[in-house]
């Protein structure tokens, strides 16, 4: 089973990379598959790659659903 999760872009890095926040964990991912990503955007991340940009409301809904089923914890993960 594969799981792609919403993550907030917190820093754009050289060479098409970005640092994202995954529930308080910062991870570097590739932006090679997604165009026009800015800091603050939400992206769907799977195995180190951002696959698509995600609307903030959809990210909030997805993260709330993931918390509800116990995939993520309550915390500072998701849209403000």
Q: What is the model's pLDDT at position 71?
A: 66
pLDDT > 90: what percent of the chain? 59
Q: What value does the mean pLDDT take over residues 36-55?
A: 95
Alpha helices (H) along the chain: 56-68
Structure confidence at residue 19 (pLDDT) = 98
Q: Terminus-to-terminus CA distance in the chain, angstroms?
A: 29
The full set of domains in the chain, from first to last, is: 5-68 (2.30.30.140)
Q: Give the predicted TM-score (pTM) of the model.
A: 0.80
Residue 13 has pLDDT above 50, yes or no: yes
């Amino acid at each position: 089973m594969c799981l792609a999760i919403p993550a907030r872009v917190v820093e754009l890095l050289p060479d098409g990379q970005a640092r994202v926040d995954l529930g308080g964990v910062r991870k570097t991912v590739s932006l090679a598959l997604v165009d026009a990503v800015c800091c603050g955007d939400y992206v769907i991340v799977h195995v180190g790659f951002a696959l698509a940009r995600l609307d903030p409301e959809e990210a909030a809904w997805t993260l709330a659903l993931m918390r509800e089923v116990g995939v993520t914890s309550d915390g500072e993960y998701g849209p403000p």
